């Protein structure tokens, strides 16, 4: 016969109210928590989730709708988020939108139909209409990494525009005047492109059209094709700002195929301190996104909304992203005369 909460009471000597509070995600004294957890393990207690949901009106499940589950960036966000949600007593339902706005809308509706208590969303596009099912059902949504104008949702991002401005400043500080950018036309890509323009104008540097390469979304192909174009120019740039991890991967692939070296032939500065930046030699200088902090803030805001915080307007939290130095940016102060 399956163990019950009364069996845990007999095993621990604790009140049913204390045990129930723990099982429903509430805070109990450390010594009581340890007793309850030991009893659960000994008795192989399995809570009746359906019955508990009927009583509490909560499934203790959070939907996480990801724009691209194949992305290493998304995978790391999922890992951190899963760890944090478990500490709150929640499980996670993962949906992959595969860069498809229509699939994103279906995924959000699916999460709502499954009665999740809240949704974390790494958006594909900028259409707040995709959130209509969650809004209608009063399911709180917190956006990660990018905003959706008019969504009325809490949002956690890095300071994308300012981070890109600092990145270009780092290149200019090393004497580079011919600086190119490869960016997507998604929210983060556009914000980082604007930061590139801010810094170039701040330093009064030329911005030839040929030094700007863009595509609809972040991808290895975007980085590869952009680098092909830049390498073929009669007067190529000396430095390139790559606006996300997949773009950086494509740039390095294109350089490798041509037998070019970094930073001798091109200086590189990218975003995201992931595998490529850590294993490629020389180590690539990157804007390092504080991914664990992004998840911590996202889960914190969502838990507050799930617990009934409805009287506070939507919050936008912008987290500082610093530059992790590498050896991919060379000093060319003696070459300033080559500026176009």
CATH of domain 160-289+324-338: 3.40.50.2300
What the block records as the tokens of 281 is: 């030699």
Show pLDDT as tens, one digit a residue, over the chain (340 residues). 577 888 888 889 989 889 888 877 677 889 898 988 898 888 887 766 555 554 556 788 999 999 999 888 899 999 999 999 999 889 999 999 999 999 999 999 999 999 999 999 999 988 899 999 999 999 999 999 988 988 999 999 999 999 999 999 999 999 999 999 999 998 899 999 999 999 999 999 999 999 999 998 888 999 999 999 999 999 999 999 999 999 999 999 999 999 999 999 999 999 988 777 677 789 999 999 999 999 999 999 999 999 888 788 999 999 999 999 999 999 986 544 444 3
- Tell how strand 285-287 and strand 323-324 pair up: antiparallel
Fold match flag (59-158+290-320 vs 160-289+324-338): yes
Sequence ranges of the domains in the chain: 5-47, 59-158+290-320, 160-289+324-338
Tell me 57's DSSP state. Answer: S
Question: What's this model's pTM, rounded to 2 decimal places?
Answer: 0.79
Separation in Å, CA 304 to CA 141, 232, 308: 11, 53, 7
- Taking alpha carbons only, the member of 328, 314, 320, 310 closest to residue 261 is 328
Q: Which CATH number fits domain 59-158+290-320: 3.40.50.300, 3.90.180.10, 3.40.50.2300, 1.20.272.10?
A: 3.40.50.2300
What CA–CA distance (Å, rounded) separates 283 from 302?
A: 36
């Amino acid at each position: 016969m399956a163990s019950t909460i009364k069996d845990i009471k007999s095993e621990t000597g604790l009140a049913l109210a204390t045990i129930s509070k723990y099982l429903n995600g509430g805070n109990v004294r450390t010594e009581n928590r340890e007793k309850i957890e030991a009893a659960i393990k000994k008795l192989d207690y399995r809570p009746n989730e359906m019955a508990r949901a009927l009583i509490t009106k909560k499934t203790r499940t959070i939907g996480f709708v990801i724009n691209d589950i194949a992305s290493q960036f998304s995978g790391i966000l999922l890992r951190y988020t899963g760890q944090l949600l478990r500490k709150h007593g929640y499980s996670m339902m993962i949906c992959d939108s595969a860069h498809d706005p229509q699939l994103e809308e279906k995924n959000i509706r699916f999460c709502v139909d499954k009665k999740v208590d809240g949704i974390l969303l790494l958006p594909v596009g900028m259409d707040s209409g995709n959130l209509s099912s969650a809004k209608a059902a009063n399911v709180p949504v917190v956006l990660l990494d990018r905003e959706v104008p008019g969504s009325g949702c809490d949002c956690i991002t890095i300071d994308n525009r300012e981070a890109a401005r600092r990145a270009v400043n780092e290149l200019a500080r090393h004497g580079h005047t011919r600086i190119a950018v490869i960016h997507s036309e998604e929210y983060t890509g556009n914000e980082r492109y604007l930061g590139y323009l801010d810094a170039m104008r701040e330093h009064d540097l030329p911005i030839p059209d040929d030094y700007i390469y863009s595509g609809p979304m972040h991808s290895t192909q975007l980085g590869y094709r952009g680098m092909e174009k830049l390498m073929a120019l009669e007067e190529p740039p000396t430095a390139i700002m790559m606006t996300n991890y997949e773009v950086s991967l494509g740039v390095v692939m294109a350089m490798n195929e041509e037998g070019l070296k970094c930073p001798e032939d091109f200086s590189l500065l990218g975003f995201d301190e992931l595998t490529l930046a850590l294993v490629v030699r020389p180590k690539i200088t990157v804007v390092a996104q504080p991914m664990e902090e992004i998840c911590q803030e996202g889960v914190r805001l969502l838990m507050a909304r799930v617990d009934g915080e409805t009287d506070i307007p939507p919050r936008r939290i912008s987290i500082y992203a610093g530059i992790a130095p590498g050896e991919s940016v060379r000093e060319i102060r003696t070459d300033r005369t080559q500026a176009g």
